């Protein structure tokens, strides 16, 4: 079976988060590389921890995603999840002058 | 512009304070996400791919400079320093925190703005012609009618839980700049054939999304006094008979399609007979009251020529290009309408930074009577600029990167947020728009191509209006790869048409070439430079384009 990690949105900020289990206790990180992969804990443990965090109103709508372990760390398998992990693939608008934007 | 009454203000403040309480209870865990979700959606707050997204209503696309400054302030204080003007003439913030949203709504309320009915199965923000009140081809100003619709539809108890969302557009001019044919209801102001009166041509059942359809004209002439009674009748029929069993069949377009135009018309007229003399019948005093909010500003009497302007036109090609592309004649001599292009090579279509917003507000005060309009093509408009001020305004717009001479031209691309932001997306759309812009960003080429539209959506919901573009692009997920379907021949104007898919989809690195080939066929085949892309396509059909793309 493919490796998986748990992801969700933080209730307060709405930002993307991944589940990391430390001694069985859940914490949520924005860094997918810090996530606990389903080989280090059982998927059931992850699921339970995620649901607990949902009940504790830390996160919203948790679900498992498929990942690969590569030399660059943990990488999601779908484009959608890669974009969630990395942020928009475009440059966000910024208040710089036109000249510096064009030079960039 | 409409000014809130004391009651309006009160209502809005109560609504914000109610939502503040709900957010508070949610954060404390007293409300579950299931319970809270409906409340937040009713207040324009979505949960998107990376964060919450707040959609703020801009009634029929009209903003004061003060409101624009508030939008800038919100972008700076609560978001990442920018906002996105959407195809529904609204603005969306992509990164607000839940705990900040009540404060944002408070700031908005201070300038008579809100996010109510920007989401959910209710009557959404009514959209209109961005040139309302200043266009030369106007039959009558549509804004008073939009305002009457806004007041009728806001918190309308009967229509708060429709089978699906409901969108109304109103146009008052010969040329349709509000895309009335692709809305649930489209109203076009027309002159009566028998008197001096104006009334409405009524379109029902248009829409994009999964099943694109053009609205059917269910009444050729509706006296304007009957506008609200007739809308109420249509909404009642829809509310009773619209499908609630299947979300894909719930829009009124499906009801009209399945019932048949004739029968649907009968149902509406029967309902209308019952209520047409009722309290919603509009009297002269109703019109006079609401029209008072949209009186013409006091225009100076200015000559329709200016020596400095003319000199610059002759001596500065860049200025002349901008005037040629982004300026439109005004009904008042000595004034011009100016399009601010939000389509540059440097920013996603429709995105504006906080500093740009503040600067636009200042420019509106300085040059255009303090008002700004948004367009459904994701651009902005300064509607009342004296001709003599155009050179100075141009200098300032250039410095802000808002003077790209491309209005209604090939790089004036509509793009939805797509997979870079949207939880429903199947593919990215902004990078495709940027790649197309980068490829064709040459003034002579753009100018030679003339009037042509490219619209891109990141999924079948069609927020990017790809069905009604001359060249439409739809991003699809094919076995994990983003691919792009090409649609040709659509139009969102008075000659509205749904484009047709030309053939198998293209990979991301092929789609720009494919667009290039389509444009090349047009340039080679047009009979004269005045023949637009759409005219050539309509004359020749798909064949030559298909041949070049797949032959
Ligand atoms: C990013 C979050 C968004 C979500 C979750 C969302 C959701 C949807 C859905 C589900 C539909 C299909 C409705 C239907 O026809 O049944 C739709 C259509 C539409 N949305 Fe959005 N949308 C989003 C962003 C936008 C944006 C950014 C725009 C404007 C640029 C927009 C404007 C529209 C328009 C114009 C349609 C076409 C509907 C029609 O007339 O048939 N939406 N959206
Ligand atoms: S068309 Fe699809 S991808 Fe684009 S904004 Fe709408 S729902 Fe999102």
Domain count, chain B: 4
The minimum CA-CA distance between B546 and chain A, rounded to whole Å, is 30
Four-residue CA torsion sign, B459, B463, B467, B472: negative
CA atoms within 13 A on the CB side of A101: 16
Q: Does the C-beta of B211 come closer than 6 Å to ligand 1?
A: no
Q: What is the C-alpha to C-alpha distance for residues B215 and B204, in angstroms, rounded to an integer? A: 5
Same domain, B441 and B506: yes
Q: What value does the mean pLDDT of chain B take?
A: 94
pLDDT, tens only, B259-291: 999 999 999 999 999 999 999 999 999 999 999
pLDDT of residue B529: 94
The closest alpha carbon to B358, from B400, B386, B390, belongs to: B400
Please check whether residue B297 is in contact with residue B378, taking contact to mean a CB–CB distance below 8 angstroms.
no
In a domain, residue B229? The reply is yes
pLDDT of residue A96: 65
Q: What is the C-alpha to C-alpha distance for residues B516 and A14, in angstroms, rounded to an integer? A: 40
Specify the CATH number for the domain of residue B470: 3.30.413.10
> Structure tokens of B510?
């092929």
Decide if A103 touches B, using CB distance below 8 A.
Answer: no
Pick the ligand that lies closest to the CA of residue B458: 2
Q: Of B293, B318, B337, which one is at a domain's C-terminal end? A: B293
Q: What is the C-alpha to C-alpha distance for residues A28 and A20, in angstroms, rounded to an integer? A: 6
Same domain, B387 and B421: no
* Mutational test site, ligand 2, from B85, B182, B461, max ligand atoms within 8 Å of CB: B461
Which residue's CA lies nearest to atom 12 of ligand 1? B461
Mutate one of B99, B349, B401 to test the A interface: name it (highest A CB count within 10 A).
Answer: B401
Q: What is the C-alpha to C-alpha distance for residues B304 and B387, in angstroms, rounded to an integer? A: 7
Confidence of residue A104 (pLDDT cuts 50, 70, 90): very low
Q: What is the C-alpha to C-alpha distance for residues B338 and B382, in angstroms, rounded to an integer? A: 5
Nearest beta carbon to residue B346 from set A77, A80, A102 = A102
Same domain, B166 and B231: yes
The pTM of this model reads 0.91
Could you tell me which chain B residue has the CA closest to the CA of A102?
A: B346
Q: Of B342, B373, B399, which one is at a domain's C-terminal end? A: B399
The minimum CA-CA distance between A28 and chain B, rounded to whole Å, is 15
Please check whether residue A62 is in contact with residue A50, taking contact to mean a CB–CB distance below 8 angstroms.
yes
In a domain, residue B264? The reply is yes
pLDDT, tens only, A29-88: 999 999 999 987 788 999 999 999 999 999 999 999 999 999 989 999 999 999 999 999
Same domain, B382 and B531: no
Confidence of residue B88 (pLDDT cuts 50, 70, 90): confident
pLDDT, tens only, B288-307: 999 999 999 999 999 999 99
pLDDT, tens only, B192-237: 999 889 999 999 999 999 999 999 999 999 999 999 999 999 999 9
Please give the average per-residue pLDDT across B409-427, as a whole number: 96
What residues form DSSP beta bridges with B381? Answer: B339, B373
Same domain, B313 and B287: no
Q: Of B244, B268, B293, which one is at a domain's C-terminal end? A: B293
How far is residue B153 from each of residues B13, B19, B34, B228, B317, measured CA to CA in Å?
19, 20, 26, 10, 48
Nearest beta carbon to residue B421 from set A15, A88, A102 = A88
Within 8 A of A98 by CB-CB distance, chain B residues are 346, 398-401
The closest alpha carbon to A58, from A90, A93, A103, A27, belongs to: A27
> Structure tokens of B388?
């003599």
How high is the ipTM of this complex?
A: 0.91
Query: In which domain, by residue range, is B328 found?
Result: 307-399
CA atoms within 13 A on the CB side of B167: 25
Same domain, B147 and B277: yes
In a domain, residue B48? The reply is yes
Same domain, B140 and B242: yes
CB contact under 8 A, A57 and B354: no
How far is residue B24 from each of residues B15, B78, B100, B155, measured CA to CA in Å?
14, 18, 11, 24
Nearest beta carbon to residue B355 from set A77, A78, A95 = A95
Please check whether residue B399 is in contact with residue B407, taking contact to mean a CB–CB distance below 8 angstroms.
no
**pLDDT at residue B354 greater than cutoff 90:** yes
In a domain, residue B446? The reply is yes
The minimum CA-CA distance between B108 and chain A, rounded to whole Å, is 20
Q: Does the C-beta of B464 come closer than 6 Å to ligand 2?
A: yes
In a domain, residue B298? The reply is no
In a domain, residue B125? The reply is no
Decide if B147 touches A, using CB distance below 8 A.
Answer: no
Nearest beta carbon to residue B348 from set A60, A78, A90 = A90
Q: Does the C-beta of B414 come closer than 6 Å to ligand 2?
A: no
In a domain, residue B406? The reply is no
Same domain, B242 and B369: no
Q: What is the C-alpha to C-alpha distance for residues B217 and B450, in angstroms, rounded to an integer? A: 31
Q: Of the ranges A97-101, B18-22, B31-35, which one carries the lowest mean pLDDT score?
A: A97-101
Specify the CATH number for the domain of residue B82: 3.90.480.20
- Whole-number Å distance, alpha carbon A59 to ligand 2 midpoint, is 24
Same domain, B311 and B277: no
Confidence of residue A27 (pLDDT cuts 50, 70, 90): very high
Nearest beta carbon to residue B347 from set A12, A16, A93 = A93
The closest alpha carbon to B420, from B402, B434, B410, B441, belongs to: B434
Pick the ligand that lies closest to the CA of residue B349: 1
pLDDT, tens only, B53-72: 999 989 888 999 999 999 99
Q: Does the C-beta of B417 come closer than 6 Å to ligand 1?
A: yes
pLDDT of residue B134: 95
| CA Rg value for chain B | 23
Angle at B439 between CA B436 and CA B445, to 5 degrees: 105
Mutate one of A7, A9, A75 to test the B interface: name it (highest B CB count within 10 A).
Answer: A9
CB contact under 8 A, A98 and B97: no
pLDDT of residue A97: 47
Q: DSSP H helical segments within B400-487, as ranges?
A: 430-440, 443-449
**pLDDT at residue B541 greater than cutoff 80:** yes
The closest alpha carbon to B426, from B374, B466, B376, belongs to: B466
In a domain, residue B122? The reply is no
Same domain, B539 and B429: yes
Same domain, B54 and B30: yes
Q: Does the C-beta of B461 come closer than 6 Å to ligand 2?
A: yes
Four-residue CA torsion sign, A52, A58, A60, A66: negative
Same domain, B16 and B55: yes
Q: What is the C-alpha to C-alpha distance for residues B59 and B53, in angstroms, rounded to an integer? A: 19
Mutate one of B419, B433, B436 to test the A interface: name it (highest A CB count within 10 A).
Answer: B419
């Amino acid at each position: 079976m493919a490796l998986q990690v748990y992801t969700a949105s933080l209730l307060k900020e709405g930002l993307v988060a991944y589940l990391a289990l430390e001694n069985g206790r859940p914490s949520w990180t924005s860094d997918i590389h810090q996530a606990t992969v389903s080989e280090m804990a059982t998927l059931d443990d992850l699921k339970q921890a995620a649901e607990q965090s949902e009940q504790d109103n830390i996160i919203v709508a948790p679900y498992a995603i498929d990942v690969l372990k590569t030399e660059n760390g943990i990488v999601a398998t779908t484009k959608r999840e890669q974009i969630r992990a990395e942020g928009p693939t475009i440059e966000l608008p910024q208040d710089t002058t036109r000249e510096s934007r064009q030079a960039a | 512009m409409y000014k809130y009454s004391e009651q309006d203000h009160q209502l809005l403040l109560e609504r914000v304070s109610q939502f503040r309480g709900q957010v508070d209870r949610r954060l404390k865990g007293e409300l579950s996400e299931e319970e809270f979700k409906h409340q937040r959606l009713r207040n324009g707050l979505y949960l998107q791919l990376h964060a919450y997204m707040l959609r703020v209503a801009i009634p029929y696309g009209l903003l004061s400079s003060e409101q624009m400054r508030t939008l800038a302030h919100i972008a700076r204080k609560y978001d990442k320093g920018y906002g996105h003007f959407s195809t529904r003439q609204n603005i969306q913030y992509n990164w607000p925190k839940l705990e900040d949203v009540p404060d944002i709504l408070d700031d908005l309320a201070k300038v008579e703005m809100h996010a109510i009915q920007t989401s959910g199965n209710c009557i959404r923000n009514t959209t209109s012609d961005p040139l309302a009140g200043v266009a030369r081809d106007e039959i009558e100003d549509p804004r008073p009618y939009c305002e009457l619709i806004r007041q009728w539809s806001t918190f309308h108890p009967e229509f708060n839980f429709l089978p699906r969302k409901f969108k109304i557009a109103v146009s008052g001019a010969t040329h349709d700049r509000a895309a009335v044919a692709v809305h649930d209801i489209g109203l076009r102001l027309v002159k009566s054939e028998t008197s001096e009166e104006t009334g409405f041509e009524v379109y029902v059942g248009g829409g994009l999304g999964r099943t694109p359809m053009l609205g059917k004209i269910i009444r050729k002439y509706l006296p304007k006094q009957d506008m609200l009674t007739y809308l109420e009748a249509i909404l009642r029929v829809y509310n009773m008979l619209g499908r609630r069993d299947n979300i894909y069949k719930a829009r009124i377009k499906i009801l009209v399609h399945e019932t048949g135009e004739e029968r649907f018309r009968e149902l509406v007229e029967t309902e209308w007979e019952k209520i047409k003399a009722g309290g919603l019948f509009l009297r002269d005093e109703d019109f006079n009251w609401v029209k008072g909010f949209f009186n013409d500003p006091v225009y100076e009497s200015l000559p329709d020529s200016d020596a400095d302007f003319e000199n610059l036109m002759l001596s500065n090609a860049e200025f002349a290009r901008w005037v040629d592309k982004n300026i439109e004649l005004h009904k008042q001599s000595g004034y011009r309408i100016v399009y601010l292009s939000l389509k540059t090579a440097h920013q996603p279509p429709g995105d504006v930074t906080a500093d740009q917003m503040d600067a636009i507000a200042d420019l509106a005060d300085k040059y255009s009577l303090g008002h700004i309009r948004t367009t459904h093509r994701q651009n902005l408009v300064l509607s009342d600029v004296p001709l003599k001020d155009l050179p100075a305004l141009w200098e300032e717009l250039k410095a802000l990167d808002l003077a790209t001479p491309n209005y209604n031209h090939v790089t004036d691309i509509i793009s939805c947020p797509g997979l870079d932001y949207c939880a429903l997306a199947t593919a990215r759309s902004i990078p495709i728009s940027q790649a197309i812009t980068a490829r064709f960003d040459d003034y002579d080429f753009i100018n030679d191509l003339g009037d042509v539209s490219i619209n891109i959506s990141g999924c079948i919901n069609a927020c990017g209006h790809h069905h009604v573009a001359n060249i439409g692009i739809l991003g699809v997920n094919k076995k994990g790869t983003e691919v792009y379907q090409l649609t040709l021949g659509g139009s969102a104007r008075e000659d509205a048409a749904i484009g047709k898919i030309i053939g198998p989809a293209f990979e991301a690195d092929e789609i720009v070439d494919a667009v290039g080939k389509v444009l090349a066929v047009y340039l080679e085949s047009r009979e004269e430079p005045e023949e637009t892309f759409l005219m050539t396509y309509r004359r020749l059909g798909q064949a030559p384009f298909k041949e070049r793309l797949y032959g």
